[in-house]
Amino acid sequence: MLVLLAAFALTPLTLPWLTNRIGPRAFFLAALVPLAGFVHAGLLTPVVLAGETVTETFSWIPQLGLSLSMRIDTLSWVMTLIVTGVGALVMIYCRWYFDGKTSGVGMFSATLLAFAGAMYGLVLTDDLILLVMFWEITSILSYLLIGYYHARGASRRAALQALLVTTLGGLVMFVGAVILVVQAGTNSISGILAEYADTASGLAASPLIDTAIVLLLVGALSKSAIFPFHFWLPGAMAAPTPVSAYLHAAAMVKAGIYLIARVAPFFAVAAPWRPIVLSLGIFTMLLGGLQALRESDLKRILAFGTVSQLGLLTAVIGYGERNTALAGLALLIGHALFKSALFLVVGVIDRQLSTRDIGELSGVGRQAPTLAVASALAVASMIGIIPMVGFVAKEAALTSLLEAAEEPWALVALIGIVLGSVLTTAYGLRFFWGAFATKKDASGARKPATAWPDPPMGFLAAPIVLAVLSLIAGFAAPWLDTALRGYADTAPEVGDPYHLALWHGLEPALFLSLGCIAVGAVLFGFAVRTGKTPRRLLTFTAADVYNLTLRGIARLAVWTTSLTQRGSLPVYVGTIFVVFVASQATALLASPDWKIELDAWQTPIQVVVAPIMILAGIVAVRARKRYTGVVLVSVTGLGMVVLFATSGAPDLALTQVLVETVTLVTFTLVLRRIPARLGEHNASVWPVARAVLAVAVGATMAIVAMVATGARIEDPISDAFPDLAYELGHGKNVVNVALVDLRGWDTMGELSVLILAATGVASLVFVTHRSDLLSSAISSLPTAAVRTRRPLVETEEGPRPRASAPGSTRQAWLVGGQRMRPENRSIMLEVIVRILFHTIIVVSIFLLFSGHNLPGGGFAGGLVAGMALVMRYVAGGRYELGAAAPTDAGRLLGAGMTLAIACALVPLLFGEAPLTSHFWEADLPILGHVEFVTSTLFDIGVYLVVIGLVLDVLRSLGGEVDRQLQALREAQSARTAGGIS
């Protein structure tokens, strides 16, 4: 069974490709899979008849108790035979139905096969949660199948409608399933049912369990198109007819019936069960039957007929006694056979004549006798005419309900079924008459026969096989009785056990049955004679309610969107802060016993720095010029440096001062392009409200800081850090070891943020590409040319070393220097940069490696190296930057991140936790005592990423902005020149 399930899952993947190669013949191959399932189930027949249950289990997610447990008992065996048998026939039928079509058929065949697989799993699994999963898979695949004609609005709407209704039901059912699983403590359906039957267990009838059962029922009823969910099924007739034959006659709608059949023998005694199942089932039967009499589209007649029959099945199977269970299962088999056959017949008519309107068809029966005979058999089975299987089943249903008729609900069911059978006869005859009879027009003259092109035999095979099976099954009633007994006996027995048979003698049920047929025939004759159709049963349609609901939801969505999506950045940011203040203030006020320990200050320097930082912060906000604002922000940053330095945090001070510098440089790079003054039009409204909110946030944070620090009762975890750092990380700088080892995952996350930000900067500035023009422009030069250290000049082919002027051997301090415009050059700067650059790089590397034991580390080292690049760029322009960093920033970022990830992953290969570090030491000649910790490699990754970030910022906001400025200038001068000439 599991192997077959896997085949069902994998084969669809190959079908689109196969269909492209061999056309609709691929359906034959697709049919092989359900056929294999059919044969497999068929081979198990002796085992199932012996009353044994075959199980296969594959543990899937043991932590959740989820396992792919499959089992075949009588009910599953019957369902499997139906699902796979009809499935295989429909696939074969599709080969002709889709003949000549190419677009979308591959996807269609794949979806149909996958659907068959989901149904196969659904009827076989013993895991309730897995059943819900298969359930949802069938809903989604049916959406794709119904929406096959996706170019049609009606088709799309019908598909969406079916999806929404069935998934809503599935969701409700899932809640019920979870309640049952939790209460029973097992996923197994058989386990849950057994526990429910055992009244001593925790699953005995209680309001909670009753609720769960009702929720489960909602799922089953919505899937099986029982009122008030019935409307999706007629809508789903927008699907191709083979889909209707399979999904809406044999498979998907039967899923709900299957679930009811599975649980009814046990749950039928629950208080809400019979009222719901019987009232809705009977009502649906009558509603569908009446509506079927009004339709003129053959397929819609069948659709409402199916709704009606599903109501009948729900009522009979849901009654939950031994005899009704037997009758219900026989009805289910009968319905699957005759309804699929009829749908397929309609498909043949539609395919041949491109219509299925009974007003347009006339005299088809005479021209297509085989088809007509097959349909006659199927219709006879539907109406319940001896010797069809439908007769046997209906006989059983009527008898079993007659016997139980002291029960009020059984009486209701009996009366409903009798009335429903009358309607069934009427619409069954109407269908046959509509499809095959020679009709008369209004004046009484015969309509001309519709021309009938003969279809090939293969096209007709599937409906004929199904119709003939209806006949054979009728004769095989005694054998069916023994076969189905295995299921029926699970239900409680009331009265004598009934046996399925073709002839029970002149019983009350027989006369009821005959009466129904006679009244139905009269009703049909009357309707044809007068041309009248019965009135609607309800003044509104459920579809209208559905549409109103959808429209209401859409309106609500627009209303909510317009309410919450104000489209204004200040409003969004303000909302965040308001929520922050409100939530924190609530939390603070809710626990009023604050313990606050305050010193006025801790070090005198704090008092010195405080007024400077406060003033700078306030003025920065009110600054009218951009540069003023940013410089003042830098002042607060430098205040932070002082505070860090005096609080025993040298690493922080070092990093902060470097970052302040780089930030300032970056800002200056951008400021070249935008005006210095912040325009008045930039001012936002409501300064007072903003000030109030700002003060509220500040005050809240201050209180939070005081309360949070006062509330600390445990020793901080970091008390152990110094020892850990030395013993595990082999480093004396605790902060650095914390970054690269103890809390390495934090750093890993941070590196990702840095890479994202760098990529974001580059893509915002470069917009269309991210190739490294700078370094490639330089590196394409012959090395010797660069070695000469002659200044580069711009030529048609890009930068080239300046041809040496005669008599001049002067070399430049920086090769890119002469690319700058003369007024921007500073020879002092060039000299200093030339002298200092390599020194700074060495310092940065020293910081990187010494960081393990002394202040420094990858961040500080990377920033220092970045500063060196900044110097080269500022002094020499973008080509100088290209010469300084002859590689793509993206490569640096990638290499750094790869190194860091490797540090995380490699220990895994040795069965250790990620980011575990190792330590080697050795006494080498010359170098002396050398220690090496693998976390240094991680730090090198950090170093590379930080350099990459700075380089990316310089390349984008520096070099690329230069290029764009230059291009702009050239364009302008060209325009001016053009204007003059």
Q: Which stretch binds other proteins (CB under 8 A): 415-423, 437-445, 500-508, 552-560?
A: 552-560
Tell which positions 235-274 bind other proteins, by CB under 8 A.
Answer: 238, 240-241
- How many residues touch other proteins (CB under 8 A)? 175
User: Which among 434, 432, 459, 453 is positioned nearest to 353, based on CA atoms?
Assistant: 453
Member of 47, 699, 827, 922 binding other proteins (CB under 8 A) = 699
Among 646, 779, 850, 887, binds other proteins (CB under 8 A): 646
Do residues 374 and 293 make contact, with C-beta atoms less than 8 angstroms apart? no
* Residue 647 in contact with other proteins, rule: CB under 8 A: yes
Min dist. Cβ of residue 164 to other proteins (A): 11
949 touches 866 (CB < 8 A): yes
Listed ranges 313-321, 438-446, 620-628, 909-917: which one lies at the site for other proteins (CB under 8 A)? 620-628
Q: Kindly state the DSSP code that residue 188 receives in the 8-state scheme.
A: B
Residue 241 Cβ vs other proteins, minimum distance, rounded to whole Å:
6
- Which CB sits closer to other proteins, 492 or 629? 629
Helices 457-475 and 389-403: angle between axes, nearest 10 degrees? 40
Determine which residue in the list 393, 633, 889, 944 makes contact with other proteins, applying CB under 8 A: 633
Q: Given the complex with other proteins, which of 267 and 943 has the nearer CB atom?
A: 943
Residue 965 interacting with other proteins (CB under 8 A): no
DSSP per position, 575-590: HHHHHHHHHHHHHHHH
In whole angstroms, how close is the CB of 564 to other proteins at the nearest point?
Answer: 9
Q: Does 574 help bind other proteins (rule: CB under 8 A)? A: yes
Residues 127-146: x where in contact with other proteins by CB under 8 A, - otherwise, as a string: --------------------
| Among 80, 187, 314, 733, contact with other proteins (rule: CB under 8 A) | 733
Q: Does 579 bind other proteins (CB under 8 A)?
A: no
Residue 565 interacts with other proteins (CB under 8 A)? Answer: yes
Tokens of 825: 């050059």
For other proteins, the binding residue among 40, 499, 504, 690 (CB under 8 A) is 690
Binding status of residue 303 toward other proteins by CB under 8 A:
no
Considering the complex, what minimum distance in angstroms separates the CB of residue 29 from other proteins?
A: 18
Q: Token digits for 37?
A: 């399932």
Q: Which strand (E) or helix (H) includes residue 726?
A: helix 721-727
End-to-end CA distance of the chain: 86
For residues 891 and 676, what is the distance between their CA atoms, to the nearest angstrom?
35
> What is the closest distance, in whole angstroms, from the C-beta atom of residue 408 to other proteins in the complex?
39
Output the DSSP codes for 491-549.
SPP-SSPP---S---S-HHHHHHHHHHHHHHHHHHHHHHH---PPPSSSS-HHHHHHHH
Q: For other proteins, which residue of 357, 407, 489, 507 counts as binding (CB under 8 A)?
A: 357
Stretch that binds other proteins, among 174-182, 308-316, 712-720, 801-809 (CB under 8 A): 712-720
Say how far apart CA 672 and CA 625 lie, in whole Å: 13
Q: Which of 840, 841, 851, 843 is nearest to 936 (CA)?
A: 851
Phi and psi torsions of 188, nearest 5°? -70, 130
Facing residues of 297 across strands? 357
Subset of 516-545 contacting other proteins (CB under 8 A): 543-544
Considering only 333-341, 379-387, 529-537, 692-700, which stretch makes contact with other proteins by CB under 8 A?
692-700
Window contacting other proteins (CB under 8 A); options: 42-50, 520-528, 547-555, 842-850: 547-555
User: Binding residue for other proteins (CB under 8 A) from 46, 62, 207, 453?
Assistant: 453
Among 559, 594, 920, 932, binds other proteins (CB under 8 A): 559
Which of 514, 618, 831, 842 is in the footprint of other proteins by CB under 8 A? 618
Q: Which of 462, 960, 938 is nearest to 672 (CA)?
A: 960
* Contact residue for other proteins among 555, 838, 918, 975 (CB under 8 A): 555
Nearer to other proteins, 815 or 863 (CB): 863
Span from 77-85, 200-208, 694-702, 905-913 in contact with other proteins (CB under 8 A): 694-702
Given the complex with other proteins, which of 717 and 924 has the nearer CB atom?
Answer: 717
Cis bond upstream, residue 463 (ω within 30)? no
Q: Judged by CB under 8 A, does residue 709 bind other proteins?
A: yes
| Residue 4 Cα distances to 80, 832, 923, angstroms | 12, 77, 65
Applying CB under 8 A, does 355 fall inside the site for other proteins? yes
**DSSP calls for 219-262:** HHHHHTT-TTSTTHHHHGGGS-HHHHHIIIIISHHHHHHHHHHH
Q: Is 776 in the site for other proteins (CB under 8 A)?
A: no
Residue of 262, 294, 356, 878 that binds other proteins (CB under 8 A): 356
The answer to whether 405 touches 414, Cβ cutoff 8 Å, is yes
Tokens representing 563 are 């309410």
How far apart are alpha carbons 693 and 575 in whole angstroms?
10
Contact flag: residue 920 with other proteins (CB under 8 A): no
CA distance 613 to 637: 8
Instruction: Kindly state whether residue 919 participates in binding other proteins, applying the rule CB under 8 A.
Output: no
Check binding of 155 to other proteins (CB under 8 A).
yes
| Nearer to other proteins among residue 14 and residue 964 (C-beta) | 964
Q: CA 120, 122, 124: angle at the middle one, nearest 5?
A: 70
Minimum CB distance to other proteins, residue 161 (Å): 9
Question: In angstroms, what is the minimal distance from the CB of 612 to other proteins?
Answer: 10
The set of residues, in sequence order, having a beta carbon less than 8 Å from that of 224 and lying 6+ positions away, is 253, 254, 255, 256, 257, 260, 310, 313, 314
Q: Report whether 777 contacts 797 (CB < 8 A).
A: no
Q: Count the Cβ atoms, other than its own, within 10 Å of residue 94.
A: 28
Q: Figure out which of the listed residues 445, 569, 926, 927 binds other proteins, where binding follows CB under 8 A.
A: 569
- The yes or no reply on residue 515 touching other proteins (CB under 8 A) is no
The token pair at 939 is 């730090």
- Sole binder of other proteins in the list 501, 521, 706, 845 (CB under 8 A): 706
Residue of the chain from 6, 182, 415, 621 that contacts other proteins (CB under 8 A): 621
Residue choice 719, 797, 823, 923 for contact with other proteins (CB under 8 A)? 719
Residue 820, C-beta contacts closer than 8 angstroms, at least 6 positions apart: 876, 877
What is the distance between the alpha carbons of residues 340 and 956, in angstroms, rounded to a whole number? 67
Q: Which stretch binds other proteins (CB under 8 A): 42-50, 71-79, 503-511, 854-862?
A: 854-862
CA distances 832 to 824, 837, 872, 882, Å, are 16, 8, 10, 19
**Least CB distance from residue 297 to other proteins, whole Å?**
4
Question: Does 768 contact other proteins by CB under 8 A?
Answer: no
Q: CB under 8 A: which stretch of 5-13, 421-429, 699-707, 771-779 binds other proteins?
A: 699-707
**Residue from 396, 643, 774, 870 in contact with other proteins (CB under 8 A):** 643
* Radius of gyration, alpha carbons of the chain: 41
Q: 33-56 burial by CB neighbour count: b if 16+ within 10 A, else e?
A: bbbbbbeebeebeeebeeeeebee
CA torsion sign, 202 to 205 to 207 to 213?
Answer: positive
- Please tell me the total number of residues recorded for the chain in this structure: 981
Stretch that binds other proteins, among 110-118, 272-280, 425-433, 568-576 (CB under 8 A): 568-576
**Three-state helix/strand/coil letters over 56-68:** EEEEEEHHHCEEE
Stretch that binds other proteins, among 218-226, 394-402, 667-675, 800-808 (CB under 8 A): 667-675
Name residue, tokens 């945090």.
Answer: 649
701 binds other proteins (CB under 8 A): yes
**Which region among 195-203, 700-708, 800-808, 893-901 touches other proteins (by CB under 8 A)?**
700-708
- Kindly identify the residues of this chain, within the stretch 858-917, that bind other proteins according to CB under 8 A: 859, 863
